[in-house]
Structure 1
Amino acid sequence: MPTVTFRGESVTCDRGDVLRDVLLAAGLSPHNGAADGVNCRGRGSCGTCAVAVTGAVSDPSRRERLRLRVPPHDAENGLRLACQTRVLGDVAVTKYPGFWGQHVNDAPVGAGDGEPVGTSDRDSVGVGDAEPVGGDDETTASDDDVA
């Protein structure tokens, strides 16, 4: 069984499980701040579950690649959407500051309290600032994950 390490904790899951689902089932959130409550619930449209992942995971889907090209993300920063990423082996996950976790040049979000470490006021984003990306007919990794 693959092991997912995130914010100082390790959890096991089945091969092929969606990373977002694994984290949430373990009581760990791939979101920062208000994005915990204001997100697309795994549809791959909001981008708030963007994380850095090392290890064996699925290739990015078309939906994921499209979303990560839309600001505030940058397709070149290597982030993945936890809701679109399937765990294929042991992985380490890192969450960066910012509503969308987009500040990859800042210190990662801390393990203890889930708050960003060494961030500034630029991480404060209003609820209405998130812009979903238009969907396609492709099935997402977690279509049955509607809350």
Structure 2
Amino acid sequence: MPIITILPSGQELEVEPGLTIMEAVLAKQLAWPTTCGGKARCTTCAFVLIKGFENVSPMSRLEEHQLAVRKGRHSLVQKLRLACQTRVKGDITIRKNLQEFC
């Protein structure tokens, strides 16, 4: 089963493959910020993908559009993704604290 490593805490979660990051985190009864309930409307759940780019689903047009509009086109270069849209296929490392990136 895939492992999500969440920085800066270093917390590791073993998750079911195919779940979105938000679904996986909520299944472990942990909190993840969202204001739209996981509908890709707010970008509150954005995170930076640090490692394991090949182990997540490709970015959808909706996700790309929302990030570009709400966080700026530079966010796409910085590997920002939405936890509500990104499906896990293998081990990944992500950064939840975005203050240094946005």
Mapped to 2, the partners of 1:4 and 1:72 lie a distance apart of: 24
1:11: which partner in 2? Answer: 13
Equivalent residues of 1:30, 1:51 under 8 A apart: no
Amino acid in structure 2 at the alignment position of 1:62: R
Unaligned runs of 5+ in 1: 106-147
How far off its partner does 1:82 sit? 0.5
Normalised by the size of structure 2, how large is the TM-score?
Answer: 0.80
How far off its partner does 1:44 sit? 0.6
1:70: which partner in 2? Answer: 69
Give the number of the structure with larger relative contact order, counting CA–CA contacts within 8 Å between residues 6 or more apart: 2
Q: Cα RMSD over matched residues? A: 1.8
1:49: which partner in 2? Answer: 45
Mapped to 2, the partners of 1:51 and 1:30 lie a distance apart of: 10
Structural mapping, 1:132-147, within 5 Å: none
Normalised by the size of structure 1, how large is the TM-score?
Answer: 0.58
Using the aligned pairs only, state the percent identity. 36
How far off its partner does 1:85 sit? 0.2
How far off its partner does 1:18 sit? 0.8
Mapped to 2, the partners of 1:94 and 1:68 lie a distance apart of: 16
Mapped to 2, the partners of 1:27 and 1:93 lie a distance apart of: 18
Equivalent residues of 1:30, 1:50 under 8 A apart: no
Amino acid in structure 2 at the alignment position of 1:14: E
